[in-house]
């Protein structure tokens, strides 16, 4: 199995965070990505991470020209997994956004395992920009023609580079919409209407997409006695998988808002987090789903109540195995800091709330997070843009952790990557417990080509590479092949395409 490694310089920087963090350790300390000045203010940071742990941070900059006239710009920068820059900062929007009270436009980003990424932004008019894994723009900014009065766009991308952008339309036709795109930025079909019925007050969509391209959109609804957080599942061809469903399990008219979502690589597990005052004070609530069904009930994330909505915006990320991290801004100690809480794939808390940022000067807010290879990548703002990297904690080593379940893993066979491939592809899988594993490759006629794995392996995340040869070492021809994994009572097959 290929393990994620860091340079010696990276390891040198490993530092312990506060004792309050209960075993959570920084591997890249807080560092400033972009500093504010008397005439510039930076906010709405967002982060995305590739398979190797390299990450991209994007943010919005407002530049004051005079007391009433300003311009807004979207910027980004790509970093190695040790926090050293891979590129200079680059401007993303190629059209000026200026005027009296120029809007601070939040940008959304998604990065796939290969390191390609999509950024979307806009107010009234929604744009997106594609980048390859070297942060080189692929063409110019593209305007989504289906948008008539959109805002707060959000993007999700699959392993092949196909992506979907969701947004809220404020005027007729009002609602939550989404547009699917191919890996080259070409529209796939017409825009999808997400929410039903049409006459609702709706806000703030969020999207999560698995590696195969299936996706989920969640949003905030605020009228007609059905206030709450709602969701809709879609297959990768854009067809709805069931109907709109309500995520919050209370029937009060309390405020529900600022929902966001994360999904595992297969789509079997996803989690939604949002802000809610059903008990009077504002809290963060989360709902975990497994196999398309709610797993347990809504549960509170923060350990202390908070009476401010503006300093309580959550972000969430989930890894391949369904473990997840929620971070948010929190004023429990006076100034606002970024707090976090880790969970296993069963939704059980790992330790207690911990402080993400070590630099605690002024109010820290608007966090964004991603989780890859056992590391938590966070960014936030205090007028300047900051980031750090924290190791995802080992549940068994943390005092105060909930009862450890039988396992934090599930039996899974993940989609191979790349696919199509030439000459080799990586097959990743997870084991719930120590067991004998058999992984074989067959051709489309069912003839066995090669046995890749036939041994007992420990519980956890594993991978194997097939280099496109048979059991005699001879290259096989182009075509469709079947990867079949058998272990105990678990059997899973998936198609792979060798294209020479």
Q: For the residues of 351-416, what is the DSSP string, one character each?
A: EEEEE--S--SS--EEEEEEEETTEEEEEEESBSEEEEEEEPP-GGGSTTPPPP-S-S---EEPPP
The single-letter DSSP state of residue 20 is G
Partner residues linked to 274 by β-bridges: 285
Residue 122 confidence (pLDDT)? 86
Q: Is the pTM of this model over 0.75?
A: yes
What 3-state class would DSSP assign to 21? Answer: helix
Sequence-distant (≥ 6) Cβ neighbours of residue 325 within 8 angstroms:
316, 317, 318, 340, 341, 342, 343, 369, 371, 376, 392
Q: What distance in Å separates the CA atoms of residue 59 and residue 76, rounded to the nearest whole number?
A: 6
* Residue 229, token pair as written in the block: 């957080």
Q: Please tell me the distance from the alpha carbon of residue 453 to that of residue 52, in angstroms, as a whole number.
A: 24
Exposure on the CB side of residue 288, measured as CA atoms within 13 A: 22
pLDDT of residue 372: 94
CA pair distance 66, 76, nearest whole angstrom = 25
Report the chain's terminal Cα–Cα distance, integer Å. Answer: 26
CA-based radius of gyration for the chain = 23
Low-confidence ranges of the chain (pLDDT < 50): 1-22, 99-102, 310, 395-408
476: which 2 tokens? 């096989």
Pair of tokens at residue 299: 């549960």
pLDDT for residue 25: 81
What would the two tokens of residue 114 be? 């290969």
Provide the CA 45 distance to its chain's centre, in angstroms: 14
Question: Residue 362: which region, alpha, beta or left (left: phi > 0; alpha: psi -120 to 50)?
Answer: left
Q: What strands, in cross-sheet order, belong to the sheet with 435-443?
A: 448-457, 435-443, 479-487, 490-498
Q: Are 215 and 208 in contact (CB under 8 A)?
A: yes
pLDDT of residue 182: 97
- Element at 10 (helix H, strand E): helix 8-12
Q: How many residues does the chain have?
A: 500
Per-state percent for the chain, helix, strand, coil, to nearest 5: 0, 55, 45
């Amino acid at each position: 199995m290929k393990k994620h490694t860091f340079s010696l310089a990276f390891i040198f920087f490993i530092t312990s965070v506060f004792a309050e963090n209960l075993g959570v350790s920084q591997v890249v300390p807080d560092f400033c990505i972009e500093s504010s000045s008397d005439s510039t203010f930076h906010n709405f940071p967002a982060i995305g991470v590739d398979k190797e742990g390299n990450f991209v941070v994007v943010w919005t900059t407002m530049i004051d020209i005079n007391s009433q006239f300003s311009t807004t710009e979207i910027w980004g920068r790509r970093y190695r997994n040790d926090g050293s820059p891979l590129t200079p900062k680059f401007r993303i929007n190629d059209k000026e956004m200026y005027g009296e009270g120029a809007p601070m436009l939040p940008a959304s980003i998604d990065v796939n395992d290969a390191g390609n990424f999509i950024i979307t932004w806009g107010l009234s008019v929604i744009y997106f920009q594609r980048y390859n894994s070297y942060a080189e723009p692929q063409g110019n900014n593209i305007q989504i023609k289906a948008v008539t009065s959109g805002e707060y766009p959000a993007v999700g991308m699959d392993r092949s580079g196909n992506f979907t952008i969701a947004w809220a339309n404020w005027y007729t036709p009002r609602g939550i919409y989404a547009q699917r795109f191919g890996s080259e930025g070409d529209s796939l079909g017409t825009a999808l209407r997400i929410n039903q019925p049409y006459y609702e007050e709706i806000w703030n969509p969020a999207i999560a997409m698995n590696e195969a391209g299936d996706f989920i959109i969640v949003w905030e609804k605020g009228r007609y006695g059905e206030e709450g957080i709602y969701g809709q599942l879609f297959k990768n061809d854009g067809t709805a998988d069931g109907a709109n469903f309500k995520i919050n399990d209370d029937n009060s008219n309390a405020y529900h808002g600022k929902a966001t979502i994360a999904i595992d690589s297969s789509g079997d597990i996803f989690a939604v987090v949002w802000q809610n005052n059903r008990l009077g004070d504002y809290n963060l609530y989360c709902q975990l789903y497994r196999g398309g069904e709610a797993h347990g009930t809504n549960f509170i994330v923060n350990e202390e109540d908070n009476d401010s909505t503006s300093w309580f915006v959550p972000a969430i990320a989930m890894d391949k195995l369904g473990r997840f991290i929620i971070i948010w801004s929190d004023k429990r100690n006076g100034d606002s800091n970024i707090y976090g809480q880790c969970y296993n794939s069963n939704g059980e808390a790992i330790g207690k709330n911990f402080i993400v940022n070590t630099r605690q000067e002024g109010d820290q807010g608007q966090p964004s997070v991603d989780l890859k290879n056992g590391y938590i990548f966070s960014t936030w703002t205090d007028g300047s843009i900051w980031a750090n990297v924290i190791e995802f904690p080992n549940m068994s080593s943390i005092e105060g952790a909930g009862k450890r379940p039988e396992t934090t893993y599930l039996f899974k066979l993940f989609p191979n990557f790349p696919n199509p491939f030439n000459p080799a592809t990586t097959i990743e899988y997870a084991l719930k417990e120590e067991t004998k594993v058999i992984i074989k490759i067959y051709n489309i006629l069912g003839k066995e080509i090669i046995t890749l794995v036939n041994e007992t392996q420990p519980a956890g995340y594993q991978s194997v590479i097939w280099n496109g040869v048979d059991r005699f070492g001879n290259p096989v021809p182009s075509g469709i092949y079947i990867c079949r994994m058998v272990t105990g009572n678990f059997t899973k097959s998936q198609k792979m395409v060798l294209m020479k």
